[in-house]
Each structure stands twice: as structure tokens, then as C-alpha cells.
Amino acid sequence: MGPAEREQLAALGERVTAHPVHEPERFCRQARALVREVPAAVVERLWEFERDGSDSGVLVLRGLETGELPPTPADNAGGLGGATLLGRQQAVLSHALGHVLGYAAEAHGHLLQDMVPNRRLAATQQSQGSRVELEAHTEQCFSALRPDYVVLGCLRGDADAATYAFRGAELAAHFEAEDLLELHRPLWTTLVDESFADFLDTREVRGPFPILSGDPEDPVLLVDQDLMHGITARAQALLQRVLEVYVAHRSAVVLQAGDVLFLDNLRAMHGRSPFAPRFDGTDRFITRGFVVRDLRRSRSARPGGQRVVQASFS
């Protein structure tokens, strides 16, 4: 971001006065109303990303102001990051791509969630893990109401924490025609993510689904290294090859304070490297949001028109 764009976006963030945890609907309305005032070059780049994606499946805006920050919390209960200046700018920019939604089973249903290292969850495949690699996945691969975009605002970075991404179109380029046909067939089932354990039966088997679908030149991608299984031996072997190609060719970005990363959750899988937190209030602090293009599609899953998708519909 240039100095002028940085200053303009910070000023827009200051004008979002509603609190994302306590006033989610007002927060979103304020943020969306400000999209028309985002610098034209920034909006055009976001719309270009929406239309064409990117080689990696992510777009990073770098150099935004973070504002005054609280210490990195020990867990995601407070939803502190969304109320920061960066979190409010993130909300405005996110609404250029669609609508920000929360999910009841994700970080207490907060619109913008604190992704921070949690000592108790360090070795888990959850956003608060740190000790192990966060394996390749599509966000909420098991749900028909999965978000179209995942947005990560970096309040504090960690030099060892790389965010990985790999686009479906790039994956397809590494397979012969016969195997590509198989990847487009519904041959894989998934379980429900353990972060939904308080709401859903995580042993429930869903599917089968294809790994690739839609336009062969720009396919929709559905992968989860931890939850997905092939229903045949060949399908399981293909899934293993998909993961090997991902590891060999994935893109990596180390988020810095003031970065906002947009991930196309339809076009790309993603993950994160392990890192070593200190648990002293200065650790990596990410505020995560989810964006959908069509708000009406989840209307029945949000009683009363609220901004949170109830877990029983996920």
C-alpha cells in the first residue's frame, strides 16, 4: 500500500464505530457502506482477484496501519482483534468481495476471530494450533455453506509461520487426463472438523464429493488432508498424490503486521507451517474473517437474519 492509500484506509477504519462482537449487524452495515470510499486501485485489484483469482489463490494487501494493539490473548474467547483499527479496515475491504459472516462453531461465532496460539491446543489441527503443521484443507470442506473467502489480518507476525496455498488449476496441471477424470468424480468422503465437536457429531461421514469440479480451466477445489478419505483404493492413492503435489508446489507467505490476506476458498487449499510461540503476549496474532458472495444462500441457517450461521446447518 502506498502512503496515500494507507492513510485513506486507516481513516475509513476509524469510521467503523460499532463493535464486531456486541453489534455484529451494525458493524457489517457500517463497513459495507464505506466500500464506495476505498481507493479505486485497491477495489479494482480486489475485483480482479474475485474474477480471475491469482496464481497462488491468495491476494495480500501489505502495509496497512494496525493501530494500538492489546497483548496477544491466550485463546480466541474475546474476539479482540476485530475491534482493532486493522480489524475494522479488514471488514471494509472484505465487503468489497461480498458479505462477512460468522459461524457459531468457529471461535464463539465471532465475525472476526482471534487466531492465536493456544497452549492447550498446540498439537491440534485447529486454527489455535502451533506445534504441528496445519494440514492442507478447504475451509469447512464438509459444509455446503462453506465461505467463499477466508480473510486473515495480521496484527503480529511470526517469522517462522508461513501460510501455504495451492490453486486447483495448478493442481490439475500435474495430472494426466485419466486421473483428472477421476478427480472430477464423487469418490471422497469427509468427517466433520473437531472444532465443531460441541455442536455436531464429528464421526459423521459426509459425501462422497469430487476433489475437482466445475470449469476444467478454473476448477473448484475441495480437499482436507485430515478429514477426507477415498472410497476406493485408487481414490485414496489419488488423494495422496494430490497432497504430494501440494507440498512440492505450494506457495508460501509469511504474514507481517499490517498485512491482510484474501484466500479464495473455492479455488485453493491452504495450510500453515508450525511455529514456536512464547505465550508471553507478543505471539502471532491474526484476525480471521469469512466472506460469502451470496448472503441469501444461508438465510435459513441464520434465524432472524442474524450474521451467524448456526452450527446445525453446517
pLDDT at 194 > cutoff 90: no
pLDDT confidence of 89, banded at 50, 70, 90?
A: very high
Flag whether pLDDT at 253 surpasses 80: yes
Q: What is the mean pLDDT of residues 107-125?
A: 90
Average pLDDT over residues 54-82: 96
**Residues 6 or more apart in contact with residue 155 via CB below 8 angstroms:** 66, 69, 72, 81, 84, 86, 87, 257, 285, 286, 287
With a pLDDT cut of 70, the percent of the chain lying above it is 100
SS3 content of the chain, % helix, strand, coil (to 5): 30, 20, 45
Q: How many CA atoms are closer than 13 Å to the CA of 275, on its beta-carbon side?
A: 23
Least confident of 43-47, 172-176, 191-195, 276-280: 191-195
Over residues 180-192, mean pLDDT: 97
Mean pLDDT for the stretch of residues 79-94:
98
* pLDDT surpasses 90 at 1: no
pLDDT (tens digit per residue) in 23-39: 999 999 999 999 999 99
pLDDT in tens, 120-165: 888 787 787 888 999 999 999 999 999 999 999 999 999 999 999 9
Q: Tell me the pTM.
A: 0.96
φ, ψ (nearest 5 deg) of residue 312: -65, -15
State the Cα–Cα distance between residues 152 and 259, nearest whole angstrom. 8
Residue range 205-233, pLDDT digits in tens: 999 999 999 999 999 999 999 999 999 99
Q: What percent of the chain has pLDDT over 90?
A: 89
Region 292-297: mean pLDDT is: 96
- Report, as an integer, the average pLDDT of 231-242: 98
Chain centre distance of CA 36:
24
Per-residue pLDDT at 248: 98
If you ran DSSP here, which 8-state letter would residue 152 be given?
A: E
Share the mean pLDDT of the chain: 95
Residue 129 has a pLDDT of 82
Contact by Cβ (8 Å): 275, 80:
no
**DSSP per residue, 190-210:** E---GGGTTTS-TT--EEEE-
